[in-house]
Each structure stands twice: as C-alpha cells, then as structure tokens.
Amino acid sequence: MFPALYLTRAESGATEAALRTLSPDDLPEGEVLVRVSHSTLNYKDALAITGKSPVVRSFPMVPGIDFAGTVERSADARFAPGDAVVLNGWGTGETRWGGLAGYATTRADWLVPLPAGMSAQQAMSIGTAGYTAMLCVMALEAHGMQPDAGPVLVTGANGGVGSIAIALLARLGYTVTASTGRPEETEHLHALGASAIIDRTALGSPGKPLQKENWAAAIDAVGSHTLANVLASTRYGGVVAACGLAQGMDLPASVAPFILRGVTLAGVDSVYAPLARRRIAWQRLAAELPAELIARNTRVVGLAEALALAPELLAGRVRGRVVVDVNR
C-alpha cells in the first residue's frame, strides 16, 4: 500500500482532491513500474488539484507532471530494476496518472536515466520547471545568443522556471535582469545571479508596439501583455523564448518587433520535447547547476502539505521550487 494525492470529479463538476491509500493493483497498466521517491508541485499541478483549469482530462487522476525514483519492474530492456530515472511531461498527471504517489507506471519511452551524481531530490528540486528553463536557454543558444550580446530579461523571476533560468544564465556569463511582483525577494534574486530587478507592473499592462530596445534576449513564463511588451523592447536581432502563460494565454502584440527589428519568438515546449533534447537538458543541468544553489531554492514538503500549498502557488505566494517527498 502507498499514499497518493487522488483527484475525483463531484456531480457538480468540481474537482475534489484528497490524500488516499492505494495498492499497486489500482495503478494503470504500464511498461515500467517506478517506486517514486520525490515529485514536485508545479503550476500545472496546482491547477489540477484546485480545479481552476481543466488540466485533468479524465478522472480519477493522480496529479504530478514529473517524478524521480527507482525502477521496480520493466518490460523494456532499456531499464532494469534498480535504475534511477526521472520523468517530465508526456501528459503525466493530466491524461495518465502522475508522480504525486508512492508508485507510478509509465512508458519506457518517457523515462530519462537520472544523471550520475544527481539524487532524486535534487532532480525534483530542478523538476519540470528547471528542465523547462534549460530548454529555454538552449533555445536562445540555438538562435545564436551569446553572453556578450547584452542583457537578458527573465520574467516571472520568483517562480520555478524563472528562478532556475536566472541561475543558469548567470552561471553561463549572461547579465540577467529579473522581473518580479515581489520586491521583498530582491536579495534572493540577487543570490541566484540577477544583476538588476524590475517591477513586473512595468511590463504587465498594454504598451506601445515598439519600445526602447532594452534586452538582447528574454525568457518569458508569463505571456499576455508581459510577453507583448518584452517583444516590443527587445533589441534588433534579439531572441525571446516563451514557455508559460501565468498572466494569460493571449498575445496582444503587433508584427512590428518581427519585421522592423528582426526579433525571433521561440516557443519552448517541455511536455513533448524529443528524448534526445531531454537527455541533453538533464546532463547540462547536472553539470551547470550547483547543488548548493538548488538546495537554497527548494522547499521540501509531504503530500498533505502539497495539497494545502496548491492555492498558495496559484496566488504567486510560493518562492522557487516545491519538492514533494511522497513518503513523508
């Protein structure tokens, strides 16, 4: 028997979340059975738990879009009992039971071997947010961005993606400006590597189609007016990697930054990214993100605490990463 966060749908249509005890027989079929050590509480998980957005496509559901643990049983020769693995995305926690439980079943194609020297807790301190941040950095690099090109803006700086993006960029030698709505976290953002801090209100309202050229590049996890203003204030030939929609899914922008300044908007998807790109991202995270920085940016909780924290995360009152020790 093992603990799990368990989501059901009430007759009213509302999502009901509870801590339940399950058995392996309750799990859906899968090529690989993983004994989960740690998962995380991501923005998408919080939406699923609270029912604030139709993230979950079928009920009942165990949420958790990522997890790290050890293989217990495998029908695929690529994995053997005892192998340490990590999983991100592929609809896990949305269409297929996820990682906020003691065990999970999954497809072998979706698993990535845990990099040597990285613990399960460290992997989930990075989690989908950090893995997405690395994909964003890789997108900037793929479009020719180098540290000497100029300052890079990171929006949603206190969130999971933003905080790790700052740390990665700073370690690579970029000058990073952090956009946040929580000025009280300035010291924390400087510790991550941000050189300057701006208030998110400067970007969050409707703005001009073209603005002063401030940023050589940007990583945006916010969307809506924020992304539109970031594009409008990106320098000639700059690159913006977009990976989130914390402010909204809309993009009230014009074509001006693209056709007058040659700005590139690079979309970053972490859910269905190819396996080869995932392996590179995780190997680079293991090599380029210091363990002490990971620990400083992390809060470890149990399943019951994760349930209570979901509304706080949606309200923007959670700093950095929330790791869930599923056995705590």
Q: Which CATH homologous superfamily contains domain 128-267?
A: NAD(P)-binding Rossmann-like Domain (3.40.50.720)
Domains of the chain, residue spans: 2-114+297-325, 128-267
Domains 2-114+297-325 and 128-267 share a fold: no
Task: Give the pLDDT confidence score for residue 193 in this predicted structure.
Answer: 94
Task: Give the pLDDT confidence score for residue 319 in this predicted structure.
Answer: 79
> Read out DSSP for 191-248?
HHT-SEEEEGGGTSS---SS----EEEEEESSBHHHHHHHHHTEEEEEEEEE---SSB
Distance (Å, rounded) from C-alpha 219 to C-alpha 222?
Answer: 9
Per-residue pLDDT tens digits for 99-111:
999 999 999 999 9
Per-residue pLDDT tens digits for 13-57:
899 999 999 999 999 999 999 999 999 998 899 999 999 988 998
Task: Give the pLDDT confidence score for residue 265 in this predicted structure.
Answer: 98
Distance (Å, rounded) from C-alpha 40 to C-alpha 300?
Answer: 9
CATH classification number, 2-114+297-325, choose in 3.90.180.10, 3.40.50.300, 3.30.70.20, 3.40.630.30: 3.90.180.10
Distance (Å, rounded) from C-alpha 128 to C-alpha 172?
Answer: 20
Task: Give the pLDDT confidence score for residue 292 in this predicted structure.
Answer: 83
* pTM tops 0.75, yes or no: yes
Low-confidence ranges of the chain (pLDDT < 70): none
Distance (Å, rounded) from C-alpha 218 to C-alpha 233?
Answer: 10
Task: Give the pLDDT confidence score for residue 74 in this predicted structure.
Answer: 97
Between the alpha carbon of residue 181 and those of residues 201, 224, 299, the distances in Å are 7, 16, 20
Task: Give the pLDDT confidence score for residue 159 in this predicted structure.
Answer: 86
Task: Give the pLDDT confidence score for residue 318 in this predicted structure.
Answer: 85
Task: Give the pLDDT confidence score for residue 291 in this predicted structure.
Answer: 83
Instruction: Give the CA diameter of the chain.
Output: 61
Task: Give the pLDDT confidence score for residue 78 in this predicted structure.
Answer: 95
Provide φ and ψ at 76, rounded to 5°: -120, 135
